[in-house]
Structures are given as structure tokens and as C-alpha cells.
């Protein structure tokens, strides 16, 4: 695993727990975690149960005893690491967004395609597809339970920047993070809406905005919780992004990504309206799916709150009895399970680097539309 921030903890939990609950065809070993700060990465290795730590990712990627490279660094380093790993014949799991630019993502997708020819797998970490309720939503749509999709609303709402004095972390720097709310959380909204509907955005109109454009520089500390320093720096990414997209079926989808929606902590919400039904999902209530079945008798129709915790719901078989809830990090176990099974079976795992590239193109089109007065803008392909 390259990187050891917040995502490193989540991925580690996935690698540790998945083999204890799922009957995996191959047993992952948590070999080595790589970071730039030798002491800090050694501490992370100890805390999270990795056998070794290292500071030179190129050396690790070259090792014969490494089969899989899991990339959890900021987006600006994804391309170089992933391409090197794929070229070294390692299966690659890369956090989202795939890269900070379409160009990088294209290069990664080409490397992934070439690697696939040699039996080397690659996957991008849109883990919310692995929340059981989201996977079940996909099943319902795929089974035709919603009829023809008429319109989509997807939003990812947080409020951790509402304090104008919150410090300037790397997530607020364009060079490191690529974009702000759009790339960090809007990417999830796009991927999840596309996953559940089975459709793709083909063109967009959007607007992005930075609501607080100067913040205190980050003092000592790590990750989201670093403390603020006296000096101030410029926020170079968006705080909010609103955009509308046309899906390949012609249906319209409306999107919102915001880190300023007061009181919303992690509200990735998708609502799909179809000619035969509707679905609503909210990550803040991730064990639930709301389903409206318009084929029911007219007087009995209503959004029903399905607890997606039954043994036969997606991913649920090895977990607890019905009504016993899963949490955020279970998606990482499910991701490991799917990745390991796909590698073992020689099937290309999804979401692929091509899927990740597509999302990058959506984000890019939103940025271009926003820069051009929100005019409708097609994806560059």
C-alpha cells in the first residue's frame, strides 16, 4: 500500500477484515506500507498490522514478492505510481479520483488496458458501489423495477469547510488535490449515479465556486484535523459545484457537491425517478434504501424504507443477522473481496480505470462549462 492517510486506515481495515468474513480464493498478506516519512509510516505499519514499512515506493513496486499495489496517496501521484506498478506486472487498486487531470487518467487507462492484455488487473476505488444498499439499488434498476429512468438527482453534501477559519489542507490546493468538492465528492456522486442507473453522462452544464478563498495555513498535525497557523494562503479549488448532466438515454441528472451544506456531514444522496418506480439512497443512513414501487395498487404506493441487512442482500451473507448494521468501512472489505475474486477469476474488476477516466472526463467537462458561463459542454473523448 502506497500512502497512509485516512484512506490508508480504511484500506488496511478492508485487507484485514475481508478474509475473516468472506471465503476468498486467495489470502491477502499485508506486506508493506510505503510513505515519505519513515517514522510516521513505520508507526502506521505497526498500528494497522502491515509486516513492513518503506519510503521508496519504486523499490517496493519492483519487489518480486509483491502482487498487488494499493494506492491511497493524493491524486497528483496516482498516475506515476499506478503506471509503474502496472508495468511491473502488479495488480493495482487505486483510490478515486483516478487522477488530477484527464491526461493523466488517459495514460493510466492506456497502461491498464495494456496490463490487462498480460492478465494484470486494475480497479479504481469508488467504494460506495459496495455499500449493500447501493448495490441493491443497482440490482433493482437492472431488473427493470424502475422502468425507464426519467430523471436523476445526486448530491454529496458535507459541511467541514463552513468554518471560514478551517485550515488550508492539501485537499484545498489545486496542485495536490486536482479539484475541490467537485473531484473529491462530486466524483462519488457521478460514479454512484452512473453505477445505479447503468448510464453515463455525455454532456454537462455546471458552475463551480470558492466561497472562502483564503484560509489559515495548516500548522502541525495530520489529515483533516490539523491545526491552523497564523499565516494565510489561497484556496485554489472549488467549495461547491452544481451541474446538470445528460445521460446517454437522454434523461437529465442534476448534481451538487458541497463542503458548505451546514449540518450535512457525509450526505451522498442519490434519487432515481423512473416510469415504474423510484429509489432514494443516503449515505448518512447507509443501511437503508427507499424504494417506491409504482406497480403497487395506487392507494398503497409510498416510499418504503428497506433495511438492506438481509442475508440475501448484496455482500450481506457473511455478516450479522438482519437488522444488525454495517458501517462505513465495510465497503472496503467488500472492495477487497471483489478485487481478489476478480483477480483470481481473471475477470476485469469494475470500476475499471476506464470508468475512472470517464468520471474524470465528466469533472473536466464541468470545469470547462463553468469557465465558459455554464454553457452545455460535451465530454472530450
Structure-block grid coordinates of residue 216: 489559515
- Which residues lie closer than 8 Å to 379 by C-beta, 6 or more apart? 201, 202, 203, 204, 358, 361, 362, 364, 365
284 near its own copies (CB under 8 A): yes
- Which residues lie closer than 8 Å to 114 by C-beta, 6 or more apart? 86
Q: How far apart are CA 361 and CA 99, in angstroms?
A: 11
**Hey, which bits of 240-344 come out as E strands?**
240-247, 252-258, 267-274, 277-282, 288-293, 303-307
Contact 363, 188 (CB under 8 A): no
- Least distance in angstroms from the C-beta of 105 to its own copies: 26
Residue closer to its own copies, measured from CB, 70 or 290: 290
Contact 219, 254 (CB under 8 A): no
Residue closer to its own copies, measured from CB, 65 or 312: 312
- Closest to 131 measured CA to CA, from 224, 292, 270: 270
Stretch in the footprint of its own copies (CB under 8 A) among 51-59, 179-187, 251-259, 334-342: 251-259
12-51: which residues touch its own copies (CB under 8 A)?
12-13, 16-17, 20, 47-49
Per-residue contact flags (x/-) with its own copies for residues 117 to 156, judged by CB under 8 A: -------------------x---x-----x---xx-x---
Residue closer to its own copies, measured from CB, 55 or 275: 275
Longest CA pairwise span in the chain (Å): 66
Stretch in the footprint of its own copies (CB under 8 A) among 64-72, 90-98, 122-130, 304-312: 304-312
Interface residue with its own copies, options 65, 118, 373, 381 (CB under 8 A)? 373
240 near its own copies (CB under 8 A): yes
Interface residue with its own copies, options 73, 199, 244, 335 (CB under 8 A)? 244
Residue closer to its own copies, measured from CB, 191 or 290: 290
187 near its own copies (CB under 8 A): no
Q: How far apart are CA 148 and CA 145, in angstroms?
A: 9
The Cβ-side half-sphere exposure at 335, using a 13 Å CA radius, reads 29
Q: How far apart are CA 356 and CA 98, in angstroms?
A: 5
Interface residue with its own copies, options 301, 345, 371, 380 (CB under 8 A)? 301
Stretch in the footprint of its own copies (CB under 8 A) among 32-40, 82-90, 119-127, 295-303: 295-303
261 near its own copies (CB under 8 A): yes
- Closest to 223 measured CA to CA, from 92, 40, 367, 38: 40
Stretch in the footprint of its own copies (CB under 8 A) among 4-12, 99-107, 110-118, 360-368: 4-12
Contact 27, 348 (CB under 8 A): no
Size of the site for its own copies (CB under 8 A): 90
263-282: which residues touch its own copies (CB under 8 A)?
263-267, 271, 273-275, 277-278
- Least distance in angstroms from the C-beta of 221 to its own copies: 12
Q: How far apart are CA 204 and CA 220, in angstroms?
A: 40
Contact 213, 174 (CB under 8 A): no
162 near its own copies (CB under 8 A): yes
Residue closer to its own copies, measured from CB, 63 or 304: 304
- Least distance in angstroms from the C-beta of 44 to its own copies: 11
Stretch in the footprint of its own copies (CB under 8 A) among 31-39, 75-83, 122-130, 201-209: 201-209
229 near its own copies (CB under 8 A): no
Interface residue with its own copies, options 5, 209, 216, 342 (CB under 8 A)? 209
What angle do the packed helices 353-371 and 187-197 form, to 10 degrees?
120
What angle do the packed helices 102-117 and 78-87 form, to 10 degrees?
10
Interface residue with its own copies, options 80, 113, 211, 217 (CB under 8 A)? 211
111 near its own copies (CB under 8 A): no
77 near its own copies (CB under 8 A): no
Interface residue with its own copies, options 293, 341, 342, 368 (CB under 8 A)? 293
- Closest to 171 measured CA to CA, from 302, 375, 7, 312: 7
Amino acid at each position: 500500500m502506497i500512502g497512509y492517510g485516512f484512506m490508508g486506515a480504511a484500506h488496511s481495515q478492508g485487507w484485514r477484515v475481508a478474509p475473516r468474513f468472506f471465503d476468498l480464493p486467495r489470502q491477502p498478506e499485508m506486506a508493506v506500507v510505503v510513505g515519505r516519512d519513515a517514522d510516521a509510516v513505520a508507526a502506521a505499519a505497526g498500528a494497522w498490522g502491515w509486516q513492513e514499512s518503506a519510503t521508496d515506493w519504486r523499490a517496493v513496486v519492483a519487489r518480486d514478492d509483491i502482487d498487488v499495489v494499493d494506492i491511497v496517496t493524493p491524486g497528483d501521484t496516482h498516475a506515476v505510481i499506478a503506471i509503474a506498478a502496472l508495468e511491473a506486472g502488479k495488480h493495482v487498486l487505486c483510490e478515486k479520483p483516478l487522477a488530477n487531470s484527464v491526461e493523466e487518467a488517459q495514460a493510466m487507462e492506456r497502461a491498464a488496458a495494456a496490463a490487462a492484455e498480460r492478465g494484470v488487473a486494475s480497479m479504481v476505488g469508488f467504494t460506495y458501489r459496495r455499500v449493500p444498499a447501493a448495490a441493491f439499488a443497482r440490482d433493482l434498476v437492472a431488473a427493470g423495477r424502475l422502468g425507464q429512468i426519467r430523471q436523476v438527482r445526486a448530491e454529496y453534501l458535507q459541511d467541514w469547510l463552513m468554518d471560514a477559519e478551517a485550515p488550508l489542507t492539501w485537499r484545498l490546493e489545486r496542485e495536490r488535490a486536482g479539484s475541490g468538492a467537485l473531484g473529491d465528492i462530486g466524483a462519488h456522486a457521478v460514479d454512484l449515479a452512473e453505477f445505479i442507473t447503468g448510464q453515463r453522462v455525455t454532456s454537462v452544464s455546471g458552475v463551480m465556486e470558492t466561497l472562502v478563498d483564503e484560509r489559515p495555513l495548516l500548522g502541525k498535525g495530520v489529515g483533516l484535523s490539523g491545526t491552523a497557523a497564523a499565516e494565510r494562503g489561497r484556496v485554489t479549488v472549488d467549495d461547491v459545484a452544481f451541474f446538470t448532466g445528460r445521460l446517454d438515454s437522454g434523461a437529465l441528472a442534476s448534481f451538487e457537491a458541497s463542503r458548505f451544506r451546514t449540518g450535512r456531514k457525509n450526505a451522498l444522496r442519490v434519487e432515481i425517478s423512473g416510469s415504474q418506480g423510484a429509489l432514494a439512497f443516503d449515505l448518512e443512513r447507509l443501511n437503508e434504501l427507499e424504494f417506491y414501487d409504482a406497480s403497487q395498487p395506487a392507494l398503497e404506493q409510498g416510499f418504503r424504507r428497506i433495511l438492506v441487512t438481509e442475508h440475501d442482500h448484496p455482500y450481506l451473507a457473511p455478516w450479522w443477522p438482519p437488522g444488525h448494521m454495517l458501517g462505513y468501512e465495510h465497503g472496503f472489505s467488500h472492495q477487497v473481496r471483489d478485487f481478489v475474486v476478480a483477480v483470481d477469476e481473471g475477470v476485469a474488476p469494475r470500476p475499471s480505470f476506464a470508468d475512472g477516466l470517464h468520471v474524470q472526463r465528466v469533472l473536466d467537462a464541468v470545469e470547462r462549462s463553468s469557465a465558459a458561463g455554464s454553457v452545455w459542454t460535451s465530454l472530450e473523448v
